[in-house]
Amino acid sequence: MRKMREQLAMCEELGMPDIITYGCSAHVLNLLARDIEIPGIKGDIKKIMKYFRNTHFAAAKYKEAGGKALVIPQDVRWNTLADCLESYISNWPILSKVCTDNRVAINIDISSKVNDINLKIKAMDYLEKLKIISVALDKIQRDCCTIGEATEIWIEMVNHFQQNNLLESDFNCVLQRFKMVMTPAHYLANLLDHRFRGLQLNQEQLDEAMEYVNSYHPAAMPDVMSYRAKTFPFKNYLFSEESIKNVQPITWWLALKNNVNIVTFDLVTQLHTAIASSAGIDRLFSAFGLVHTKLKNRLDVEKAAKLVTILKALNKKGTVDETEHEIETD
């Protein structure tokens, strides 16, 4: 891993335009969730959840009172902490009632934590911030989310934190992670995406994007300037509402392939096929693990790869079938 990082850094220093390097936005969002964590909240609530899930008497009384399934956060699964807090807050009245009605049987430490109003208020405050990150994370960890889309999502999240008068320390954490993950290539991808056109970028970010073009792809500069000015071949109808809603950026530029410089087309192809997160690859490894375990170690890699392909196709087919069913129902 260290050697790979050194070689990538060397590529950047040599100015190799065919390679762009950037961090995984999903991982950085997960780090941001930890940055703004309120001390003690996660540990206390996790302890409560485990008690009501693993203690027979408490679990039985909780279920009898109408409590729903409790979620325990896992560090290796993103967004489970937000799900855990949401589960705790929505089921808090039942948890409190069970503790109050069964004071003798319920562990006194657990009972005091459940009835600690300050803990509940802190959990609600933390969840409010986590939900913003959670929504962004769900969008970014999609298989097809590009760095241009991720830039838009990040900027919207930064604006949300700024406009909702949250703690200055939290906002500074968001800005720090934003600067950590963003590169000039991100800004340029956002600028050259007809759905966004860099409208939310500030002047400094736009300058970084244009400097990137000028430094690594100078032959594309005339087309980029024409695109920003909406002059030939970038006519107004190409930026219509229908085009923005229904046409992917790579398709949009493919329609203009014969009217732009080959360097420009290669550049936009590179930018609009650069995925913002490694989550899709992580899911692929997980799928590979389903068919290639220690119990099946006699299965060679080639056969396992075929099974993974079949598994992914079946999962995709299941999603399509559900969508078709919803359409028929409507």
Assess whether pLDDT exceeds 90 at residue 122.
yes
Give the percent of the chain with pLDDT over 90.
68
Question: Cβ(53)–Cβ(72) under 8 Å?
Answer: yes
Higher pLDDT, 172 or 317: 172
pLDDT of 320 reads 41
**Higher per-residue pLDDT: 289 or 89:** 89
Q: Is 97 in contact with 109 (CB distance < 8 Å)?
A: no
Which residues face 146 on adjacent strands? 275
CA distances from 285 to 229, 252, 259, 293, 312 (A): 44, 32, 40, 12, 12
Q: Is 203 left (phi over 0), alpha (psi -120 to 50) or beta?
A: alpha
Q: From residue 141, how far is each of 26, 32, 110 by CA, in Å? A: 6, 15, 36
296, pLDDT greater than 80 = no
Angstrom distance (rounded) from CA 205 to CA 134: 25
Confidence at residue 17, expressed as pLDDT on a 0 to 100 scale:
65
The pLDDT mean for the chain works out to 86
Per-residue CA distances from 276 to 107, 271, 298 (Å): 46, 10, 35
Is the per-residue pLDDT at 113 higher than 60?
yes
pLDDT 10s digits, 19-38: 788 889 999 999 999 999 98
Q: How do residues 140-192 score in pLDDT, each as one tens digit?
A: 998 889 999 999 999 999 999 988 877 889 999 999 999 999 999 999 999 99
Comparing 225 with 281, the larger pLDDT belongs to 225
**pLDDT tens-place string over residues 58-79:** 999 999 999 999 999 887 677 8
pLDDT value of position 295: 46
Range with lowest mean pLDDT among 7-16, 197-206, 243-252, 307-316: 7-16
Confidence of residue 102 (pLDDT cuts 50, 70, 90): very high
The mean-pLDDT minimum among 89-98, 153-162, 231-240, 313-322 falls in 313-322
Please identify which residue in the block is written with the tokens 């990150």.
133
Over residues 289-312, mean pLDDT? 64
Work out the average pLDDT over 131-138.
94
What is the C-alpha separation between 69 and 84, in angstroms, rounded?
10
Rg of the Cα atoms in the chain: 25
